[in-house]
Each structure stands twice: as structure tokens, then as C-alpha cells.
Amino acid sequence: MKTAVLFGAGQAGAAVLRLLYGYEPLCFADNDEKKRGGEFCSLPVLSAAEALALGPDCVFICVTDAARAAQMRAQLDGLGCAAEVRDALSLRVFDARAAAARLLAERISARGVGGDAAELGVYRGEFAALINAALPERRLHLFDTFTGFDAADVAAERALGLSAAGTGDFSATARETVERRLPRPEQAVFHVGRFPESFAGCEGLRFCLVSIDADLYAPTAAALPLFYDRLSIGGAIIVHDAFGLQYPGAGRALEEFCAARGLTPVPAADIHGSAILVKQGG
């Protein structure tokens, strides 16, 4: 079996490790001195030079930013890297969460699962457009402040010692931007404002597919019972960042919700560590 070094001990590195097949991972390499000498995902973290000294067959550059990837490739060249070098930029093209959403939508349609679709945390509408295309005959409810993270939610995040999120993060969006991206914009209903206040008027709805991509603990914790209790049998909720490193609040909210309801989330194994809940009949 070929051996591999994963260059980048972060969220992308963890995703590459999970997806890796046919290679024996030797270690992580990282330029952050604070990480070196410890472990990440049960593998040692070394400097790039130390990792190359192990003689790997391949080095995977585990970042999804093209500029950083180019810098890391140049660094490897400067160290005389003789191994094959691959990068993880294709993870943004071949996305497990997107594939899971499309497959779930196919199954929902084939089985006649009733209800609307929804997304909390729309940002610029890329995933909303995917849902809209996958379920073109369903109403799509889109919940977002369109001004970025709310100050009260950020304060709750800080009080719980979770992420370093800031008020207004992800504010570079607008309803009009999302509408232009949707293939069937006439099916979209926009609910603008802080969640869960923006859910007012939706109490009588049923849902078949819901994406929760709020990142932070407070809106995720509020969203899970509201959507799950209105989810049709056979319907599904996809929770972004549930097993990720950048926004652990989403995972904490999901863990608490599942523990209280006796549910087990299924990892999607995408780069952000999404999880899927499918509502079973009982």
C-alpha cells in the first residue's frame, strides 16, 4: 500500500483523512509550530521537512484555498519533495453533502414524502439553489438575516466558549443575489430576520428536506426541534458543521437534541462534517 502525508492539520485535513482510500497515512505536516509535536486525528503532526524525511509516496495538500495551496506546493518544491503531490481543492467540486442532498431529494420524490423544503443559513444561495433544482416542484423556505451573524447569537457563542464568530460575519450577501442564483425563484419564500423569530407563520407547515447551516449554537438549537417536529416521515434534515472544527456550536446543539430525542445522526463525511437526520415512522 502506498503511503501518504497530509499537509495541513485542520478541517480539510480531517476530511481528506476520512475520504482517503488505498493509502496508509503516516502523519500530518503543518506550518503552525503550536500544532507540531502533538497529534491530530490520532496521527503525529510534524514539520513539512520532517514529514518528507519519512519518504511518503504521496503528499496531499489539505487546504481548499487556491493561493495557500500554491504556496504549500512551492514550499514542498523548495524542500526537494520527490513524492507525488495532490491537493484537496477538488473537495469543493465533489462534495459529499451536495451528493447526499441530491440523493435524499431523489428518494423523497420517489417515495412521495410530503412537505416543503427549507434552509436556515442561506448566505449567497449556493446550497439553496441545489435544493431548488433537486426539488423543483416544492416550495423552498429560506431563512436568513442577510446581515450576517446576529449580535445576540454571537454573544451566546462567546459565553459558551465555542467559536470565534463575529457579529456580521457572512454579511456579504443579499436576497436579490440569492434570487438570481435560484433556478426556480418563483418557488422561494424568504423569511428575513433573526431565527427563530423569523419562523413565525410557519408553524403549520410540513417539511420534507431541511438544510440547517446556521453555524452557531443558538440558532441551530432553536431550529432542530422546530423543523424536526414538522418533518414528514421519510424526510431529512442536513446539519452543516455538525462534526466540523470551525463552528463546534452546531455540533453541540445537534448532540444535545439527539440525546434528548434518542436519535443518531449519520455523518455525511464532507469537508465541513455535516450530519443527516432521517425521520423514521413509529
Cβ 277 vs Cβ 265: under 8 Å: yes
Two domains, one topology: 2-92 and 96-278:
yes
Please give the model's pTM, rounded to 2 decimal places. Answer: 0.89
Above 70 in pLDDT, residue 282? no
pLDDT, mean of residues 1-23: 94
Query: What does the pLDDT read at residue 142?
Result: 98
Provide the residue ranges of all domains of the chain, joining segments of one domain with +: 2-92, 96-278
pLDDT at 89: 81
Asked if residues 6 and 60 have their Cβ atoms less than 8 Å apart, the reply is: yes
Q: What's the pLDDT tens digit per position in 222-250?
A: 999 999 999 999 999 999 999 988 899 99
Task: Give yes or no for residue 55 having a pLDDT over 80.
Answer: yes
For residue 38, CA distances in Å to 30, 41, 52, 186, 194 come to 11, 10, 17, 52, 40
11 pLDDT higher than 70? yes
Going from the C-alpha of 57 to that of each of 4, 19, 224, 265, the distances in angstroms are: 6, 17, 44, 35
Superfamily of domain 2-92: NAD(P)-binding Rossmann-like Domain (3.40.50.720)
Euclidean distance between CA atoms 207 and 235, whole angstroms: 7
CATH of 96-278, one of 2.60.40.10, 3.40.50.150, 3.20.20.70, 3.40.605.10: 3.40.50.150
- According to DSSP, the residues that pair with 92 across neighbouring strands are none
pLDDT at 134: 98
**pLDDT per position as a tens digit, 121-174:** 999 999 999 999 999 999 999 999 999 999 999 999 999 988 888 898 898 999
Contact 22, 16 (CB under 8 A): no
For the stretch 64-118, pLDDT in tens is 889 999 999 999 999 999 999 999 888 778 899 999 999 999 999 999 999 999 9
